[in-house]
Amino acid sequence: MRISMFLLLCVMLLAGGCRSDDCKHKKIIESLSNEPLNLEHPSRYEGLHLFVGCEDKNEKKITFPRVLKIEYLKNKYSMNYKTYLRKILNEDIHIDLPESCFRLNAVISDNYAKMNFNAFFSLYCYENGSVFRIAQSLSENESLTVLYYLFLNEYYSFWDDYIGIYSIRKLEN
């Protein structure tokens, strides 16, 4: 009986799971792909920073949902919008965007590789009410590198222009 319950549990976990590449950014991809695919309706996630890859794997670009939507509509990709978002956010494809690339900071990248995520998060971020903030002592490049690694873990950032600092939230359903 125990063996059959164990096997049933294993089968359920395998069947209900998804490949790690397909699971990355699942919430934001679902949310963005369910919005109207036109430019008259601004996304409710419009201010969120999204990171996409550059030709050099150590360089990234920061962009916004509207820019990705414009790029998709302009180029008429041979895939649906949801697939396009999954491929671009998981860096399976690269697109030529007007934003310039930035190079990932080696020290921060090394910390991310060596630390568990909670320790990494605590090192570079602090809580401020209902949002998290990024440490103000970081340079722009260091901040963008930290935000990129947070993005990989489904923490999304936006620029709070009222106080001039990056704010971070975990995307809720």
Query: What is the greatest pairwise CA distance in the chain?
Result: 61
CB atoms within 10 A of CB 144: 23
Instruction: Indicate if the pLDDT at residue 173 is higher than 70.
Output: no
Q: Is the pLDDT of residue 13 over 70?
A: no
Residue-level pLDDT at 10: 34
| Burial of 18 (C-beta count, 10 Å sphere; 0-12/13-18/19+) | exposed
The closest of 30, 43, 64 to 172, measured between CA atoms, is 30
57: closest CA among 81, 108, 88, 91?
91
3-state secondary structure of 157: strand
pLDDT at 58 (0 to 100): 85
| CA 24 from centre of chain | 8
Please give the Cα distance from 49 to 63 (Å, whole number).
6
Classify 104 as helix, strand or coil. Answer: coil
Distance CA 105, CA 102 (A): 9
- Mean predicted lDDT score pLDDT of the chain: 82
Residue 37 — pLDDT band, cuts 50, 70, 90? confident
Cα distance between residue 116 and residue 121, in whole Å: 9
**Count of residues making up the chain:** 173
Per-residue pLDDT tens digits for 113-153: 999 999 999 999 998 888 899 988 999 999 999 999 999 99
Is residue 19 scored above 50 in pLDDT? no
Contact 101/54 with Cβ under 8 angstroms? Answer: yes
Q: Whole-model pTM?
A: 0.81
Confidence band for 93, pLDDT divided at 50, 70 and 90: confident
